[in-house]
Structures are given as C-alpha cells and as structure tokens.
Structure 1
Amino acid sequence: MAEPSIEVEVCHALPASSFLRALTVPAGTTIQQAVERSGLLQDIPGIDLAINMVGIHGKKKPLDTVLRAHDRVEVYRPLQADPKEARRRRASSKPAKA
C-alpha cells in the first residue's frame, strides 16, 4: 500500500521575482523538509533557514511544524528596517500640531 501523501506549496517573494512550487510530499513532512525538497535553497542562494522566518498562510511557525494538505509554506525575507524605528522617524519628521 502506498504511503499517504499531501499537496503543499512552497513560496518566497523577492522584490523583482518570486518562487512558487507545488509539491506532493508524504504525510508527516515538516516545513523544513518541504523547503528542502522544493529546490528553493538551490534556486535562491542566500536563504538560511536558521535566519529566515517561515510560516504557513501568513502565520509564523517553527521549522519542525508538520504540514497538512494544501498548506502554503512561506519563507520570509529579513526586514530591511525595524518597523517601530521607521514609524518613529516618520513621526519625528512631521511638524508639530498647533
């Protein structure tokens, strides 16, 4: 009897391009295993799963999370600027209200 399998997607967005690959993986596959099987790490050098955050459908998850059918694994880019610091800079550059 064949091992049960599930359909998942692995994606990563860059400013000028994106990576999206549909995979059929064995049930019980983790996020890390799916990313490795997808070929993302070979196609886009510089991604380090120890540094880049990952998630499923926009929610951050650890690499050892077991996938379910139709999950979309997302590998996020590092932030270019701290959102809180960027907000402070914008607020300090506005003129004071009278």
Structure 2
Amino acid sequence: MAGAPLRIEVVCARPGRAWRLTLALPAGATVADALAAADLPTKVPGLVVQEDCLAIHGRTAAPGDALRDGDRVEVLRPLLVDPMQARRRRARDA
C-alpha cells in the first residue's frame, strides 16, 4: 500500500548498554530521517553518529538510503583496528 507509514527500528549498542527505538516514519523516509527522529545523541552519552558507521540489517548504509517497512537502522561503533592488520598481528604473534 503506497503511502503507508514505515515501522523502523533504530539500534545502538555500547559496552554495557544498548538502545532500541521503534519509530513510525512516512513512506519515502531515509536513514537520515530515522536518525533525526530517534535523536540518539540526546539519549546515548557521548555518541557522535558517523556516516561511515551506519547499517541496515548489518549491511553498510548511507544517510540518503531509502528505508522499507521493518528495516533496522544500526549505529555502529567505529573500528579501533583495521581487521586485516589485526589478523596479520595475530598470525605474526602465533
């Protein structure tokens, strides 16, 4: 049904705590719209949302990506170490 509201979930996990917000957004909403509606920086202490740390159901997303009903927008933590460098370091140390 065109124009029906979208049910979207926005999630953010930090060590020791996770936040999950369920939103109803208009059809055509984007990841940026969901983030604005969730207003996570006021709920998650110290959170700075980075554009390269967003996902929809575990797949990389951009702020302008369109959402579909039932999508889960994930605010990810930035990587502290490049995964390839970490593997090399573990192999060298083994």
Q: TM-score, normalised by structure 2?
A: 0.87
Letter in 2 for 1:28: G
Letter in 2 for 1:44: V
1:9 deviation in Å?
0.1
Q: CA RMSD in A?
A: 1.6
More helix by share: 2
Q: Which residue of 2 aligns with 1:39?
A: 39
Change (3 A) 1:24 1:51: closer
Q: Which runs of 5+ in 2 are unaligned?
A: none
Higher mean C-alpha deviation, range 40-49 or range 24-33: 40-49
Q: Distance in 2 between matches of 1:19 and 1:72?
A: 12
| Structure number with larger C-alpha Rg | 1
Q: Distance in 2 between matches of 1:42 and 1:58?
A: 24
Q: TM-score, normalised by structure 1?
A: 0.84
1:47 deviation in Å?
3.2
Q: Which residue of 2 aligns with 1:49?
A: 49
Letter in 2 for 1:34: A
Q: Distance in 2 between matches of 1:50 and 1:74?
A: 11
Q: Distance in 1 between matches of 2:55 and 2:71?
A: 10
Q: Which runs of 5+ in 1 are unaligned?
A: none
Q: Which residue of 1 aligns with 2:14?
A: 14
Q: Identity rate of aligned residues, in percent?
A: 37
* Secondary structure at 2:28 match in 1: coil
